[in-house]
Amino acid sequence: MPDVMVAARASEASGSKTQQVDVAVVGAGFAGLYLLHRLRKAGFTTVALDEAGDVGGTWYWNRYPGARCDIQTIDYSYTFDPELEGAWKWSEKYATQPEILRYLGFVADRYDLRRDIRFHTKVTAATWDQVAERWQLTTDHGATISCRYYIMATGCLSSPKPPEIDGVKDFKGKVYFTGRWPHEELKFVGKRVAVIGTGSSAIQSIPLIAEQAAHLTVFQRTPNFALPAHNGPAPAERATLLESDRAGYREQARWSLAGVPLPQQTVVSWQLSDAERRERFEQAWAAGDLVFMLTQLWADQGVDVDGNALLAELFREKIRSIVKDPETAAALTPYDHPFGSKRPCLDTNYYATYNRPNVTLVNLRQEPIASITASGIKTDKRSFDIDVIVFATGFDAMTGAIKAVHPITGRGGKSLTDVWADGPQTYLGLTVAGFPNLFLVTGPGSPSVLSNMAVSIEQHVDWVVDRLIAIQAAGFTAIEATETAQTGWARHMADCSTLTLHRLANTWYTGANVPGKPQGVMPYTGGVGPYRSICNEVVGGGMLGFRLTGPNGAEQCNDGEIVRLQPDVRLVLNMLAEMNLPPIESLGAQGARDFVAEFNKSRPAGRPVGEIVDGTLPLTDGSLPYRLYRPAAPGPHPIAVYFHGGGWVLGDEQSDDPLCRDICRRAEMIVVSVGYRHAPEHRFPTAAEDGYAATRWIAEHAAKLGGRPGPVAVAGWSAGANIAAVTCQLARDRGGPEIAGQLLVCPVTDCAFDRPSYGDNAAGYFLTRPLMFWFWDIYCSPADRTDPRVSPLRGQLAGLPPAFVVTCEFDPLRDEGVAYAEALAAAGVPVEQLQARGHFHSSFAMVDVVITGVSGRARMAEALRRFAGLPQKTAQSGESIPQGRQASSPELNAAAK
Ligand code: NA7
């Protein structure tokens, strides 16, 4: 729509009088428009301000050739009004920028939104007036504004980055920025054009510019992964799915990981053959769906560098097969970042464009740009005569647009720029401590750019407007995040970012694209659905982490951290809660065993090891089964004897299979998991005596088992760790075998139940207090419980082998584990402790489910290697990064560790 028409219909707020409104919004894009609509419906007086001449936000500015969305348009739409959905039909799978802009104009018209928007208006300062409890805004055009609430709907990618290359001003030709493209159509016919950058904007525009230009030279700093969009009409099956159950489809998107209704992939890469993986990849390549490619191939593609490398290599093969010149193909092939850690692009003929005779790729890694001259671009090797330079160099993402609307001065005169000097700090990506009544829509700390923005925007807008309604109804006039909540959110963000591979790439997600910008993963990586549930929990918890204030000293503050669990632990516990399982102790011993066996069938298969051998070992009164895990590398290897968890009642030598495989792979040791006998059939001290006898036999038969003769290590989890600890005491007292060290993961060490962890974690973290009581009752009568063969904390501890003791924060057994470690240390035993924050009793046994346990399991393996006298490993399987060819790979390797 021409600006002149807009101006005629836009909000009139000229003159010098201050405009008084309840809410001022900055931005008239997807977020600003929906905000206006909701605020108005809720009865708030509002004004929106935008520098642009019309609605559209990022779609107003990014008019470069080929600009399209990279989420299918069927999903990249408002969902708040089914009638609106019925009234608009997208013509293409990925709509073009003009069509998206028309859509936003249509929405603005439909709800008559322009009358509350002041276009061509930039906020030049925003100051919190503590006395009036209002924000005072000055603008470069028209009246100042006084508002109770100030909402930044400024978008994540709306502040273009400066060129950062010397000499731009000297250039005599034309200069364009993809992020600020002129409104009139540009003609490149007969022109020598340079495009600097190879992100989405460049990858979308390069093929179209190449079709016109006399010559196109692309200056590439970092190659990117791109897959074909296969544009055309919206895929029929997706449209049918939506139309058959619109509400259900939208709801699934709202609770999904990326804001698109796709399921959680559960099959892991090592469960698929090469051919199966290739087939999945080819299907995704043919589907031309970015979110599908990013999430649906195999479960470990986005969380594990090895799983990711398999996918990245398939991409590289494609690039090599399309681009004919091997040198150009090599330069276009990304090696410096895992697939998906930098935003991959959707393209139309991108790679094939480099087969055109009028296109040249300049690899800036080999010949950096030295300067821009009057006639073109000079690298340190060559000069290029150029008529037009297109900067597709990206944005100061996430924070740039917020900080651009500055200064924002909060309580006590604090400036947001200063508060964020070391990186953005927010609570939920929605609010900032010290800045009352200020809200950010899809701000840093929320899923934002790692999600379908349409879904995330609606969730934020609904959350904010619903809160304003509730605050007003309760008689409060100000809301502010607490420092505790904000610090807790930063910790949770950091925990989440260890789950994905985004931290391993230099990208605009991390701020690395802007010189001098503080670095850290800015969007929330925990997923749209989990994030939504957290926001709901904040409300359900009485606005946890917010201080609400109002007239006459009214105040409410339920201070605290919203998430203290590791993000994946939280997901597991929520999933278990949703399953509404009966308490294990209600099932009887056999019922509980059947239940656990069934439950274990649904977990990810452990990773391959060199060999697995099942056998039996003799006892004086029978025999015990064992399962031996042998590393792939040639032996002989040192041996770790392993005892499974299960409260002396449940499990067997196979029930901790994924953990045994993990230990075997990481420590490169043979793991022999022992099937000791269980209660109630065999009560105390059978399990302990079996553990000792088995260890003795294994140590004596180490060579026969293919292991290295000499001392063995012992390891165990939960009741198995109890048996490992007891075995060490018995071995010391009974003349052997010699034990090199003990790895005790969440051990049972004592029969006292009055330590705080038994109370704090009595319920809700799977291993409950009633379940522990049940285990104790089945295994051991009260009269026997102080025997060191079941309460090793009560035994003599001097002279025991070195120990590595792991405890988890949300575990009834936490404090007795810590007590054992401290008592060992006091007795002169070398001890290392891992007190795992945010973890629960099963965290480390849930290999490939609780991914945040990886670093802990890596430390456990290192401890076992130390016990065995093996050298420290430099890179762990599952954490190593594929060897790159570019300069940043050593840093990536370091980060991966
Ligand atoms: P991006 O994805 O940030 O891409 C910018 C590109 O420009 C990228 O290849 C950069 O290389 C390159 N760049 C940036 N600065 C320079 C300088 N100084 N010299 C040479 N090359 C440079 O921005 P887009 O606009 O393409 O896409 C942004 C998002 O919008 C996109 O992900 C979609 O979500 C929509 P680098 O990788 O930094 O080495």
Q: Provide the pLDDT confidence category of residue 4 given band limits of 50, 70 and 90.
A: very low
Give residues with Cβ within 8 angstroms of 810, minimum separation 6. 564, 565, 569, 760, 761, 765, 838, 839, 840, 841
Q: Quick one: 555 exposed, middle or buried, by C-beta within 10 A (0-12, 13-18, 19+)? A: exposed
**What residue type is 124 in one-letter code?**
T
pLDDT in tens, 111-137: 999 999 999 999 999 999 999 999 999
Give the C-alpha separation, 448 to 633, whole Å.
44
Distance 153 CA to ligand 1 centre (A): 23
Residue with tokens 């928007």, as numbered in its chain: 117
Kindly tell me if the per-residue pLDDT of 892 is higher than 80. no
Q: Quick one: 204 exposed, middle or buried, by C-beta within 10 A (0-12, 13-18, 19+)? A: buried
What does each C-alpha distance from 250 to 83, 106, 171, 525, 687 come to in angstroms? Answer: 14, 21, 50, 21, 53
Q: Encoding tokens for residue 754?
A: 């009055």
Contact 496, 488 (CB under 8 A): no
Q: Provide the pLDDT confidence category of residue 341 given band limits of 50, 70 and 90.
A: very high
Distance 510 CA to ligand 1 centre (A): 13
Residue with tokens 């605020």, as numbered in its chain: 39
Contact 197, 219 (CB under 8 A): yes
Name which residue sits closest to atom 10 of ligand 1, judged by CA: 197
pLDDT in tens, 814-855: 999 999 999 999 999 999 999 999 999 999 999 999 999 999
Helices (H) and strands (E) in the chain, counts: 28, 29
Kindly tell me if the per-residue pLDDT of 881 is higher than 50. no
Q: What is the pTM of this model?
A: 0.93
Tell me 628's DSSP state: E
Distance 276 CA to ligand 1 centre (A): 34
- Beta strand pairing status for 376-379 and 19-26? unpaired
Q: Across the chain, what does the average pLDDT equal?
A: 94
Q: Provide the pLDDT confidence category of residue 880 given band limits of 50, 70 and 90.
A: very low
Q: Quick one: 148 exposed, middle or buried, by C-beta within 10 A (0-12, 13-18, 19+)? A: buried
- Farthest-apart Cα atoms in the chain, separation: 99
Q: State the alpha helices, DSSP H only, in 111-170.
A: none
Kindly tell me if the per-residue pLDDT of 891 is higher than 90. no
Q: Count CB neighbours of 750 within 10 A.
A: 22
Give the C-alpha separation, 179 to 158, whole Å.
7
What does each C-alpha distance from 345 to 199, 222, 453, 761, 886 come to in angstroms? Answer: 7, 13, 16, 46, 21
What does each C-alpha distance from 864 to 641, 739, 802 come to in angstroms? Answer: 11, 12, 10
What does each C-alpha distance from 590 to 419, 580, 595, 678, 679 come to in angstroms? Answer: 58, 20, 8, 11, 11
Contact 152, 55 (CB under 8 A): no
Distance 509 CA to ligand 1 centre (A): 11
Q: Quick one: 874 exposed, middle or buried, by C-beta within 10 A (0-12, 13-18, 19+)? A: exposed
Kindly tell me if the per-residue pLDDT of 879 is higher than 50. no
Name which residue sits closest to atom 27 of ligand 1, judged by CA: 200
User: What is the reported pLDDT for 736?
Assistant: 95
User: What is the reported pLDDT for 86?
Assistant: 94
Give the C-alpha separation, 71 to 480, whole Å.
34
Peptide bond just before 737 cis, omega within 30 deg: yes
User: What is the reported pLDDT for 406?
Assistant: 82
Q: Which of 201, 332, 384, 886 to mutate to test the pocket of ligand 1 (most atoms within 8 A of CB)?
A: 201
Ligand 1 atom with the shortest distance to the CA of 221: 39
Distance 200 CA to ligand 1 centre (A): 7
Strand-pairing partners, residue 744, are: 716, 805
Contact 867, 881 (CB under 8 A): no
> Ligand 1 pocket: which residues have CB below 6 Å?
70, 157, 164-165, 178, 196-202, 221-222, 343, 364, 392-394, 508, 513
Q: Which of 513, 514, 522 to mutate to test the pocket of ligand 1 (most atoms within 8 A of CB)?
A: 513
Distance 357 CA to ligand 1 centre (A): 25
Which SS3 state, helix, strand or coil, does residue 817 take? Answer: helix
pLDDT in tens, 293-310: 999 999 999 999 999 999
Give the C-alpha separation, 233 to 599, whole Å.
44
Ligand 1 atom with the shortest distance to the CA of 512: 38
Give the C-alpha separation, 335 to 888, whole Å.
10
Give the C-alpha separation, 375 to 384, whole Å.
8
Of the candidates 49, 114, 26, 100, the residue with the CA atom closest to the CA atom of residue 70: 100
User: What is the reported pLDDT for 15?
Assistant: 54
Alpha-carbon torsion angle 178, 336, 308, 491, nearest 10: -80
Name which residue sits closest to atom 38 of ligand 1, judged by CA: 513
In degrees rounded to 5, what are phi and psi of residue 826? Answer: -65, -25
Give residues with Cβ within 8 angstroms of 598, minimum separation 6. none
Q: Encoding tokens for residue 201?
A: 């904007």
Distance 189 CA to ligand 1 centre (A): 25
Give one DSSP letter per residue of 224-256, joined into a string.
--EEE---SSPPHHHHHHHHHSHHHHHHHHHTS
Distance 393 CA to ligand 1 centre (A): 4
User: What is the reported pLDDT for 42?
Assistant: 98
Distance 197 CA to ligand 1 centre (A): 5
Q: Which of 178, 377, 393, 507 to mutate to test the pocket of ligand 1 (most atoms within 8 A of CB)?
A: 393
Contact 617, 697 (CB under 8 A): yes
Beta sheet of 670-674, edge-to-edge order: 611-619, 622-630, 670-674, 639-643, 712-717, 739-745, 803-810, 831-840
Kindly tell me if the per-residue pLDDT of 604 is higher than 90. no
Of the candidates 527, 165, 522, the residue with the CA atom closest to the CA atom of residue 371: 165
Ligand 1 atom with the shortest distance to the CA of 394: 23
Distance 519 CA to ligand 1 centre (A): 16
Of the candidates 151, 217, 205, 229, the residue with the CA atom closest to the CA atom of residue 432: 151
